[in-house]
Amino acid sequence: MMNKIIWKPCCAKEIVRIWDNFGGPMSIVNYVTECPICGSFIGLTQTSLEQAVDIRKIANKQSKFNKINKMSRSKNYKFKVKQEIVQPQVGDIILVHGQSWLARQIQLFMNIYRKRKGLPSRKVYNHVAVIVDLYGEQYVAEAIAKGVTITPNANIYLAKNPDHLVLTWANPLSNAEANKLSKTVVQYSLVPHRYDVLNFFYQMKYIFTGKWSGPVGDQSRKYIYCSELGAIAMDETRNCFDGKTWDKNPLDIELSECLKVKNI
């Protein structure tokens, strides 16, 4: 017997709003968004959609439906939903603009790097992740403190990191290239790779002097940091950095001619 899903009234209303805007339930299977009232993440699966009639009945009984519609039409919320419905693909690169103290310090140095490259003011990012194929599903690979990790469901990852930029390949990957990229990245998660914390100091020196003092070549791959993992994925697939992946930062990934901003 199917388990009953108990939705909060505000979440139920948001489901109905999305349903109406997207032309029916089947078009939003696996859609992930955030409730504008309570902030809960709403993941629509086939199970929840089969109970959508009950959800609609709940939503129609509420008295603040117009208030939620008004909020969903606001500029900020439109932007958030726009970010949520980007359809990721295997091989896409995710740049994250975090809010932690460490994230802000990295962004500070990325802004210095941007200025030294003569680029105009722009948002900069502090973290890089890669979408890979594993068992026929989209997973997110990233180098974090405990090493290279692979986590399921790229849509949920994007919803949990709403301030992000998704980059895709300027020339789409073939199936063989997508498989090669996934295999390249996944293999780093199978062997322990400690995060290269010293990279922060290497990057600071590199930004100010233009000289890299950290490990290079195969030696650099014993300790991998987030943007290095993205650079390795790109370079092993299409030689985007001519083998020089050890000194790449999030801005280098964003500026690569191999990639472009993914359209909504």
Tell me which fold the domain 93-261 belongs to: endopeptidase fold (from Nostoc punctiforme) (3.90.1720)
Average pLDDT, the chain: 79
At 59-96, the pLDDT tens digits run: 454 444 444 444 444 444 333 434 445 688 999 999 99
What Rg, from alpha-carbon coordinates, does the chain have?
21
**pLDDT computed for residue 82 by the predictor:** 41
| Rounded CA separation 176/219 (Å) | 28
Output phi, psi for 194, to 5 deg.
-70, 150
At 160-204, the pLDDT tens digits run: 898 999 999 999 999 999 999 999 999 888 877 666 677 888 989
Distance of CA 5 to the CA centre of its chain: 28
**pLDDT computed for residue 80 by the predictor:** 41
Place of tokens 């997110």: 140
Lowest mean pLDDT among 7-16, 77-86, 110-119: 77-86
SS3 state of residue 31:
coil
Report residue 116 as tokens: 């030294």
pTM (predicted TM-score): 0.67
**pLDDT computed for residue 145 by the predictor:** 83
> What stretch(es) of the chain map to CATH 3.90.1720?
93-261
Measure the CA dihedral 153/156/158/159, to 10°. Answer: 170
At 229-256, the pLDDT tens digits run: 999 999 999 999 999 999 999 999 999 9
CB 147 within 8 Å of CB 193: yes
Helices first, then strands: H and E counts in the chain:
12, 8
